[in-house]
A and B are shown apart, each in its own frame.
Chain A
Amino acid sequence: MTTIRPFTANDLFKIANVNMDPLTETYGLSFYLTYLVHWPEYFKIAESSDGRVMGYVMGKSEGYNEKWHGHVTALSVAPEFRRLGLAGKLMAGLEDVSEKKRAYFVDLFVRVSNDVAVALYKKLGYTVYRRVLEYYSGNSSPMFEQDEDAFDMRKSLSRDPERKSMIPLEKPVRPEDVD
């Protein structure tokens, strides 16, 4: 029993249990507020029955013509609430909004080493479209000192019945080539 509702500015104070997980990035305030103001329909939070934050999803829509798509910028579930199918639920919500906006597909970036996440997305119907070299730059935390590649994973929506947007590229690309 979860409540899934729109994320509000004040929720930023409550997401510590989600964001302290090492694979969840904590962005600057402006980053979250940009998404909150531009794409509130994609920004959802999940709460447990006793009022604790379980996870959230943040996304946007962008692109032109057949590249009009939904994008998952952040999807994170607190460690104590994993194995409840929440990630799938939040993704389904994002895909639903994308369908309503008549997007052709949904895509996301994930670290190539994050096999748990990659497996989850594959289970939800996403495939690897391309590899982006050194997408994630190394930073100060000891876990991520090196640059790391990303998988760009995609799932076609009903507006792309032939799944053209999911046809994988043969060669990896660099971050500059990602539009």
Chain B
Amino acid sequence: SDPRERRLKAIYDALDAGNNKKAIQEAEKVLRKEAGDSLCAKALRALALLRSGRLDEATAAASEVERVDTSEESVLQAMTYFYKESHRLDRIAAMYERAVQQQPKSEDLLTSLFMAHVRVLDHKKQQLTAAKLHRLAPSKNPYYFWSVMSVLMQATECGGELASKMLLPLAAKMAEAFRDRMNAEAEVQLYLMVLEMQERFEDCLATLDGPLSSLLSPQSTEMTRQQRMGYLEKLGRKQELADARWEDLTTEPNDWARWQSCIQSSINADISQGGDYVEADPRLSELQSRMDAIAAEHPGLSGPRLARLELMRRCPVSCRPETALSLMRSYFEAFASRPAVASDLLQFRSLLSETDENSSPAKLLELIRPGLPEWPKAAADADRQQLVRDLTARINYEQLSRGLLNKPMDAEQRNAKIAELIQAYRANLLDGLRPTEVQPADDLLLLAVSLHYDAWLVEDAKQSETHLLQALYLLDEGLSGSPSNYNIMLWMIRLFIALGAWTPASNLYERLDVKQILLESVGFVLSRQVARCGLLSQGLVMLNNTAMFYKNNWRDIVEHLCTAYRIGNFRKVPELSP
């Protein structure tokens, strides 16, 4: 093979292997032999220098390449990597502009130029480049629709009259001019996006029902059904919308969003026809009966029953605390052995009464209490599934109790409760769990820890560390029983930080293996505490790691913007754009 090719391949191989030093050597070999003619070798050398951290030399090497206008694909690609990795996305566009001037009829170069504009969110230049592509290849639909999408993004960016009077009508006209030539679902969706921004919801519905609907795929029926209902809502066609939503509900009677939509629709539709609901309104009781019928048809489903409470929340005039209490009681009794029942009910605590004893939170707990199973005890021959169900019921009760009752406990009550919880926790530890599994009784431990934490917050400084330490001893015990319980670890981090103990907190954080997006959603538990804890050099290591994630983000995300255009998933473009 061509010796030149071979020498270049050696550079590529070294770069791919991450051996930047070798890549630089190989590149310099080429440059010596070819008296500096190989622009590609120069570009690859610049890239290798960058990756080695030799920034000044890398920049100098890159400038040499930039001085020469080229449309050589290998050079452009190498420099694209260079600019991406040095966070100079704008230079990619400038480079391809020059290349296109040399080869104005190259679809590949123009496409690369288009993508370069996408990376820097230059929608105007996107539009111009896409237009050129369309003129070159008028039979290729994507180029045309890239133009339309670019106009839409300009409208999104500037808003106001410029969008509504100029840009959106332009995008609409462009899409409509191509209507007979549309041949992909993506193009129909793009057209809908334009119509939605113009608030032409009648036309949206007409599109979904018209000939273009044949381009929509079977796997999109769910999405288009949602879209259709969205349009009906915007058009204020309340009765149609209500009917559509109730029909939707019958296929998924446990879907919470569908219940919320139905309740919303029913209230709106009725009110718009006949004024606000009043107490003992026949329309209201009709609605309640309808809901009860669905609940009766599906006795194992929690959705319909929770929905009755949701109706009360949405429609306060229908809410009588005694009814709320009764519903909450029967909900608990029906589903107590399932997880998350406490949190299901706690969102409706405001429906109970603070003043009337008979429909108060305390009353609810009093009525539920007798029906609870006894505290289980894990024994060798015990039915494990039943044990977990019983434990769950008791845990739900304790969590509900904690969430409903506002008044703080006195020290004696609290200590008794803590002792009860810990005793139950210790009596229900299961054998033979894998290290990746969590003990079902852990939530009891965490409740006890919360009580210690409450005490620490309230009591004065002299006594406070006792509670903090008690909590940590318990958590430590819990962690040996459940080495994977991240809630225990998060609690420990929090409490160690409260003591100013960075090192154990940091060790636990390592154990959590916080990385990638979790650095954003979880990392703050430690990163916000660096200055407070004073161990600055250790803290700096942690912060540097986190910073790397943020630094490289935007560069990664824009590539997916490019992909969205390339494969025609236009809906994702605004979703991924800032």
Q: Which residues on A are within 8 Å of B, measured CB to CB? A: 1-6, 8-9, 12-16, 19-23, 26-30, 32-34, 36-38, 40-41, 47-50, 52, 79-84, 97, 100-101, 113, 116, 140-143
- Give every chain B residue within 8 A of A83 (Cβ-Cβ): 338-339, 388
Q: Which of B137-153 contact A (CB under 8 A)?
A: none
Counting chain A CB atoms within 10 Å of each CB, which of B307, B434, B567 scores highest?
B434
The residue in chain B whose Cβ has the minimal distance to the Cβ of A16 is B521
Q: How far is the CB of B515 from chain A (nearest CB, A)?
A: 6
Q: Which A residues are CB-close (under 8 A) to B569?
A: 37-38, 40
Contact partner of A50 (CB less than 8 A), chosen from B218, B347, B437, B512, is: B347
- The smallest beta-carbon distance between A75 and chain B, in angstroms, is 16
Contacts of A142 in B (CB 8 A): 511
What is the chain B residue whose CB lies nearest that of A6? B223
Q: How many angstroms from the CA of A113 to the CA of B434 in the assembled complex?
A: 10
For A32, list chain B residues within 8 Å (CB).
517
User: Contact at B340–A29, with CB atoms within 8 Å?
Assistant: no
A84 touching B338, Cβ below 8 Å: yes
| C-alpha spacing A79/B141, complex, angstroms | 47
Could you say which of B94-102, B252-260, B286-294 contacts chain A? B252-260
Contacts of A84 in B (CB 8 A): 338-340
* CB of B394 to closest CB in A, whole Å: 15
Q: Choose from B220, B254, B436, B557 the contact partner of A2 (Cβ within 8 Å).
A: B254
Are B438 and A100 neighbours in the complex by a CB distance under 8 Å?
no
Question: Which chain B residues lie closer than 8 Å to A21 at the CB level?
Answer: 484, 486
The listed residue with most B CB atoms (<10 A of its CB), out of A20, A26, A82, is A20
Q: Which residues of B contact A101 (CB under 8 A)?
A: 217-219
A1 touches B259 (CB 8 A): yes
Q: Residue B560 contacts which of A19, A27, A33, A141 (CB distance < 8 angstroms)?
A: A33
User: A29 — which chain B residues lie within 8 A by C-beta?
Assistant: 516-517, 553, 556-557
Q: Closest CB of chain B to A118's CB: distance in Å?
A: 13
The interface residues of chain A lying within 8 Å CB-to-CB of B517 are 12-13, 15, 19, 26, 29, 32
Beyond A2-B255, A37-B560, whether A80 also contacts B303 by CB under 8 A is no
Contact residue range for chain B?
A: 35 or more
Q: Report the separation of the CA atoms of residues A34 and B347 in the bound assembly, to the nearest whole angstrom.
A: 36
User: Which residues of chain A are near B437, meaning CB under 8 Å?
Assistant: 116
Cα A48 to Cα B521 with chains together (Å): 19
**Smallest Cβ-Cβ distance to B221: which chain A residue:** A100
In B511-564, the 8 Å CB interface with A consists of 511-513, 515-518, 520-522, 553, 556-557, 559-560, 563-564
From 164 to 186 in chain B, residues with beta carbon under 8 angstroms from any chain A beta carbon are none
18 other A-B residue contacts (CB within 8 Å) besides A21-B484, A29-B516, A40-B571? A1-B259, A1-B302, A2-B255, A9-B575, A13-B517, A27-B516, A29-B517, A29-B557, A36-B572, A40-B569, A47-B256, A48-B256, A81-B339, A82-B339, A83-B339, A100-B217, A140-B513, A141-B513
Chain B residues near A20: list those with CB within 8 A.
486, 512, 518, 522
State A28–B560 Cα separation when bound (angstroms): 13
Q: Which residues of A contact B571 (CB under 8 A)?
A: 40
B340, B515, B560: which contacts A81 (Cβ < 8 A)? B340
Q: List 28 A-B contacts (CB under 8 A).
A: A1-B259, A2-B254, A5-B257, A9-B572, A12-B517, A15-B521, A16-B522, A19-B517, A20-B512, A20-B522, A22-B436, A26-B517, A29-B553, A30-B560, A36-B572, A38-B567, A38-B569, A40-B571, A48-B340, A49-B310, A49-B347, A50-B347, A81-B339, A82-B339, A83-B338, A100-B221, A101-B217, A142-B511
B339: contacting residue among A41, A80, A97, A113, CB under 8 A = A80
- Nearest CB to that of A10 among chain B residues? B575
